[in-house]
Amino acid sequence: MPGNDPVSVVALIPARSGSKRVPDKNIRPLAGHPLIAYTISAARASGVFSDVIVSTDSDPYAEIAQHYGAKVPFLRPQEIAGATSPDIEWVEYTLARLQSEGSSWQAFSILRPTSPFRLPETIRRALNEFLAEEGVDSLRAVEKCEQHPGKMWIVRGRRMLPLLPIGPAEQPWHSSQYAALPEVYVQNASLEIAWTRVVFETRTIAGHVVMPFFTRGYEGFDVNQPYDWRLAEELVRTAQAALPPVHIEAFLNRTVVS
């Protein structure tokens, strides 16, 4: 942590418009608001960000983001807004362009709209842990994996090879109970935090030294498939998971075409 002065941090919310599995999922209504509204609201309510910026390639998406209090200083170029475009491209573009226009921050956090149950206190907890840790480049949200890689296989024709052939020969991992296997964590999409220097020094969003942030409950829940969307609606309906409060009038009665 640089010195004892407050660290300037920007929230970066990616919201490209080309989702295929759940069309327009970033702005699809959930409990009365577009999905992205909950991430913007959580970021603003956390009180830790100097700015909350949405990176999108869509004018309609930008209008929605601005309605809920985020800044959209420019649209993301189409050449870095594809389904396979790596995060480093839009992060580097955004930070570099804003820096050239006079805005810079010591750290950034990527908050994806597809994690609607990430709360303001989740963000505060993650940032506090990141700033308290010496010698790290970044923090990434993780949770204990449900499908253990020790039980995964590579299929080659009519034969299979264990993905992780490193268990003991007398008791291979693929033939062991889950409880007997070493704990393995999988990243989720809820949040990442890194020093801005990492982007320009390593051209990555994570750097070389990454610390874990262990999400709790549904904080790391990610909407990727139609099933995920139906489950999110059910979690809200049954009050099993809480959405961040949105204190802005709903963006309704408008047709949004990406």
Contact assessment for residue 9 and residue 106, using Cβ atoms and an 8 Å cutoff: yes
pLDDT of amino acid 169: 86
The parts of the chain modelled with pLDDT lower than 50 are 1, 253, 255-258
Give the phi and the psi of residue 13 in degrees, each rounded to 5.
-115, 110
What's the whole-model pTM score? 0.92
**Domain architecture of the chain: domains with CATH:** 9-145+184-237 (3.90.550.10)
Q: What's the pLDDT tens digit per position in 205-234?
A: 999 999 999 999 999 999 989 999 999 999
Q: What's the pLDDT tens digit per position in 81-108?
A: 988 899 999 999 999 999 999 999 999 9
CA dihedral 125, 118, 73, 69 (to 10 degrees): -100
CA–CA dist 12, 72 (Å, integer): 10
CA–CA dist 227, 232 (Å, integer): 9
